[in-house]
Chain A
Amino acid sequence: MISLQATMRGGRAVQDSRPWPRHVIDQTGWLRVIREISKGHGDMLDLWSDGVDVHMLILDHESSDIGIVTIECPNGRFPSAGHMHPPALRLERAIRDIYGIDADGSSDERKWLDHGRWGVRRPGVKAEPSEASGDAYAFLAAEGAPLHQIPVGPIHAGIIEPGHFRFSANGEVVVRLEERLGYAHKGIEGLMVDAPLDRAARLAGRVSGDSTVAYSLAFAHAVESALEIEVPPRAIYLRALMAELERLANHIGDIGGICNDASFSLMHTHCAILRERVLRASQLCFGHRLMMDRVVPGGVASDLTMEGAVALHALLSGAKKIIPRFIELFGDTTSIQDRTVGAGRLRSELAKQYGCGGVIGRSSGRNFDARRHPGYAPYPELSFKVASAHAGDVDARVWLRFDEIKASFGLMEQILDQAPQGPIRIESLPTSSETCEGAALIEGFRGDIFVWVRLGAAGAVQRCHLRDPSWFQWPLLEAVIEGNIVADFPLCNKSFNCSFSGHDL
């Protein structure tokens, strides 16, 4: 039997693919890869197209190697991965909508991002004009006498991103939830084509506003890998500082949001205050509350001043005092525990199958954290613990966020202590004489963000693909809500906090 690793290293190796090799394999190899992944021998971390071929990012469990395999699609078709490995289904639907490349044998022929509103079909390749009157969408059936449907969205009651949820319920109990996404599709991969690097970096920073640092970092890493650039050491530390600030702000906001969805507003109010303090410190240190456009290919755009470092130390010492009190408040309030314990339980087998990252995966038995593996500077030099739990319910996801907040405190202190002095940015980026490819996996607050970029000889982006962790989390939300009551959906949903914009691109 040929192992997954051997298959990943088979076929024809593509030149100038960094840091992970990319191999063009034949149909037999492709099918073997899918079979091995569906047996659980590896994780499918992404499936995407550049308009010509289809690529898959794989983590092999045996060797812990990461690699990209490519199948050529001369007839605009490739063998579906989704029919054996369901996590691929939506990615295949997206590839068909944008690039017109069909997954042969897929069990889901419905469109996904294309709602029939763009006025074109297959905008990623040879766009064909079409009527923009909107397509009908066939939701999956849930049949039985007492069932009723509850359609929600795309506009929701709160200040939330757009998306549609179709509940089939038996009284209060949800029998099936089906999501319909794509409402926030902005055509970012299309805008990336031929974009100069600075514009492309701004676009990457706006894929999902709450993860702007992580996306900018992932894009910068991918470009730097492609061009083989070394970033100044101080920039590496400042990037990690921003990334941890972003993680902190989001986790605090999420804990407050989850409590708010169970009407525990005291916690929400205090979390909102702490989150605001983090954003103000970010503004003071880096000149933008969300730190947009501060991580750029080649380094960072603004340096941390002495004043900024003092402000961060003050923020940290205050936060380290208040977080244990939040923990006490959350843990001692039985009425909130009554809502969170046992709600929206994600089985570890499902989390594993979907290669689910972030808090969601790690509170259901996974321990994947891109800061650890594949790992990137400066994290190998810093000491931190990757928290993991098995309960998989809303409660576990809250506690795991607390654990990650505490880990971020430790990381930020180490970064502030160890950050070397020196330049923060490479003045002018080199250009490659030939086409080159780079990729990166970066741990955002939601999980691992993947960016793949192909740069042309002129230094502009030829193709860029960005995969949000939500791709492998949204389908699991459908699974965990089954058997819960409708009123617990906001709670479960907030505890996942998947991105609409990041997913819809």
Chain B
Amino acid sequence: MRKFLFQGLLRSPLTEPVPTPADAAVAELADALAKASRRRLGRSLSIREVDAGSCNGCELEIHALGNAFYDLERFGLRFVASPRHADVLLVTGPVTKNMREALERTYAATPDPKWVVAVGDCAFDGGVFAGSYACVGAVSEVIPVDLHIRGCPPDPVTLLQGLIALVEPRM
């Protein structure tokens, strides 16, 4: 173990430069984020992830945000265990009907001001599962969505671009 720790001190970090926020994400957020609320929260946001019935692909890439290459926490973004602690809900999946109420209750349990980011093609419009008897479809049909990050699944850079737009001052 000592060797691992020692090498960690000597080697340069793996963490990569900050990607610039995607233009589309910034435009979408312009309406959603009032300057005042941004000032109140500073550059730090707590995120609660909600899997509303995804295939788990989006979760894998959201997990990857925490690795040394992307290091999400350097942006003041961190995942929290309870919606009570969250500013942002990161929702994936085509919102299965079996998860609908859980999602609604999570949203209700999140204190204001709050934002919802819908991650992945399923969360946008149901994706390949659209039209199923067991799925609601878009997250926006259940709770208001402030930002969509598309992809199946979106890769970590795309996720970062969207999330940075939440905390960076508006261009």
List residues of chain A with CB within 8 A of the CB of B50.
155
* A and B contact pairs by CB, cutoff 8 A, 23 listed: A117-B98, A120-B133, A155-B106, A157-B82, A159-B79, A162-B53, A162-B99, A185-B98, A186-B53, A186-B129, A186-B134, A187-B132, A187-B134, A191-B132, A206-B127, A209-B54, A209-B59, A212-B57, A272-B68, A273-B14, A276-B67, A290-B57, A501-B56
Nearest B residue to A120 by beta-carbon distance?
B133
Task: Please give the distance in Å from A170's CB to the nearest CB on chain B.
Answer: 25
- Convert A356-381 into 0s and 1s, putting 1 for each residue whose CB lies closer than 8 angstroms to a CB of B: 00000000000000000000000000
The answer on a CB contact under 8 Å between B55 and A206 is yes
A202–B152 alpha-carbon span in the complex (Å): 11
B163 at the interface (CB under 8 A from A): no
A203-B128 CB under 8 A given contacts A123-B134, A289-B155: yes
Assess the B69–A190 pair: CB atoms within 8 A.
no
Interface band, chain A: 35 or more
Which chain B residue lies CB-closest to A272?
Answer: B67
| Chain B residues with CB under 8 A of A203 | 128-129
Residues of B in contact with A (beta carbons under 8 Å apart) = 1, 3-5, 14, 49-64, 66-69, 79, 81-82, 93-94, 96-102, 106, 127-129, 131-135, 152-153, 155
Given contacts A161-B59, A209-B153, A276-B64, contact A127 B96 (CB under 8 A): no
A120-161 toward B: CB 8 Å interface, digit per residue (1/0)?
A: 100100010000101000000000000000000011011111
Most chain-B Cβ atoms within 10 A of its Cβ — which of A154, A202, A269, A273? Answer: A154
Query: Do residues A266 and B1 form an inter-chain contact, with CB atoms below 8 A?
Result: yes
In the bound assembly, the distance between CA atoms of A275 and B156 in angstroms comes to 13
- Asked if A329 is at the interface (CB within 8 A of a chain B CB), the reply is yes
Flag if A209 contacts B55 (CB, 8 Å): yes
Chain B residue nearest to A182 (CB atoms) is B98
Closest Cβ of chain B to A272, distance in Å, is 4
Residue from the set B62, B82, B96 with the largest chain A CB neighbour count within 10 Å: B96
- Across the interface, B153 reaches (CB within 8 A) one of A132, A187, A290, namely A290
A207, closest chain B residue (CB): B55
Chain A residues with CB under 8 Å of B100's CB are 117
